[in-house]
Structure 1
């Protein structure tokens, strides 16, 4: 996964398309090639689900496939990063998540 901080989010029908505004390079430093996209559902703090279209890129130097992820999405999680961080800091009580999920977030 390659995290980006400079991006734009464009709404198109029921999807949100994430586009990077900066050149993307692999962690090995090589240039990457476009390899398609993938839809990913993210649950907000209020419980609403939004479908984000994330780009996938291929690095020919290290022969790996990466997904371009904006900084508001936590890798391998289905909730927004702000909801997870708020529960961990005690400033937010994410009502959309189950008690067992909140317990795991606090444990980390």
Structure 2
């Protein structure tokens, strides 16, 4: 099997995410002045630093979208119909089922 051309960062992305989560937990528990400071930058109950960081995370993925390929959507209607059905007919009921299980079974005594 040939070796793929992914970088070390991409190869160990799960580990990097776990490390960042642990660092975040450590900071919130042992250096509470940082979260308190960041909580001051909030507008309409939206954390501005969090919104900026999410935008920075999503922007590179947006750059990789080939908007010219949208013209060819009509050539592959099966994929569009399947995606539409899953997103609008399957997922809402699945999420309702998961919510019901958590609220009325798992967390029933709370």
Asked if Structure 1 and Structure 2 have the same fold, meaning a TM-score greater than 0.5 normalized by the shorter chain, the answer is no
TM superposition score category, shorter chain reference: under 0.3
More helix by share: 2
By relative contact order (CA 8 Å, sep 6+), the higher-ranking structure is 1
Q: Which of the pair has more CA radius of gyration?
A: 2
